[in-house]
Amino acid sequence: MNYINYCLLFFSLLGAAFQAQAQQISKEELLFMTPDWKGERFPDGRPKVPDALLKRMKLVTHEEAWAVMKGEGYRYQYAEGWQVINPDSVLVGRALTATFMPGRPDLHRVTDEKGHKKDGRVKSQNSWPIDMLVKGDVYVVDQFGAHLDGPTIGDNLGNSIYAKTGNGIVYEGALRDIAGLKELGSFTSFYRSYHPSHHNPQGDLNTTLVGINRPTRIGGAMVLPGDIVLGRDGGVSFIPPYLVEKVVKTSEVVRLRDMFGHQRLREQKYTPGQIDTRWSDEIEKDFSKWLNEHIDKLPVPKAQIQELLKTRTW
């Protein structure tokens, strides 16, 4: 398919998306937007990065993820400036996205009618994406920074989210019931502000759901459904699924080399100048020997270390 046909297909899908309003994105659209992911997918087409990689991702730093993504041309996958629930914990999971905009009565009405009558959705629009969450997901919400009368999530929905996913959220807006949310011990979450009000108070429509599992903007980052969320140290990275394995493996190599280098510096076997520059063949051989000797004690899976050793020439 040539470039012009790709553009025509994209705008055709975009038009269908607006016609569908707040429905879940179609499988065809998700496949179109995530062609580089070759692994398993959810029935709706959302990329399903394996749980084993998610577990290893918890030790990855933003610096390591940033370096890999920037090298692949991804410059807008990091968002900062958050308030955090459980700031000493790490949030990792698959993004399920939702996008809200300032309330508009005509669109809100037809979205409600379609959701309730045709799609069989119940309750209010803010609960629709939450009903779709599964274990390992992270609910990623563009709430357009809404503050007063903006919060769509408090401790009731927070408990539901945590029960479904085992994770917290990334929320571009204000939360309510912060005290109750903090009682969820592992509800590690990133949000912009706190306000005790509630969205859409009676007679005052101020939020309308316009998209579920569609590309959305969080801070200065674009997020696609199925991206892997890495939230730690006050910031959030959104990693394209097909780059997750490369990010994890790069992180593990860096971690092992740092451990080895720090130990040898403490032992005064090498100088800082030798460790901070490109390693000599002598140091590389010493590193390989160190990996073999400590293979059962290192914070990297044994199978991954064995794979690394196979690729080395010493």
Q: What is the pLDDT of residue 310?
A: 80
User: Band of the pLDDT at 314, cuts 50, 70, 90?
Assistant: low
User: Band of the pLDDT at 123, cuts 50, 70, 90?
Assistant: confident
Pairing of strands 78-79, 235-239: antiparallel
Whether 29 and 203 have beta carbons less than 8 Å apart is answered as: no
Helix axes of 302-310 and 281-293: crossing angle, nearest 10 degrees: 150
Q: What is the pLDDT of residue 312?
A: 67
pLDDT of residue 20 exceeding 60: no
Beta bridge partners of 207: 102
What is the 8-class DSSP label of residue 171? E
Q: What is the pLDDT of residue 17?
A: 42
* 66 contact partners, CB below 8 Å, separation of at least 6: 77, 78, 237
Beta bridge partners of 140: 97, 170
Q: What is the pLDDT of residue 38?
A: 97
| Alpha-helical runs (H) found in the chain | 3-20, 27-33, 51-57, 62-71, 105-113, 128-131, 155-165, 178-182, 244-266, 272-276, 281-293, 302-310
Task: State the pTM of this model.
Answer: 0.86
Q: pLDDT for 289-305, tens place per residue?
A: 999 999 998 888 888 88
Query: Hey, is 235 helix, strand or coil?
Result: strand
Q: pLDDT for 167-221, tens place per residue?
A: 999 999 999 999 999 999 899 999 999 999 999 988 899 999 999 999 999 999 9
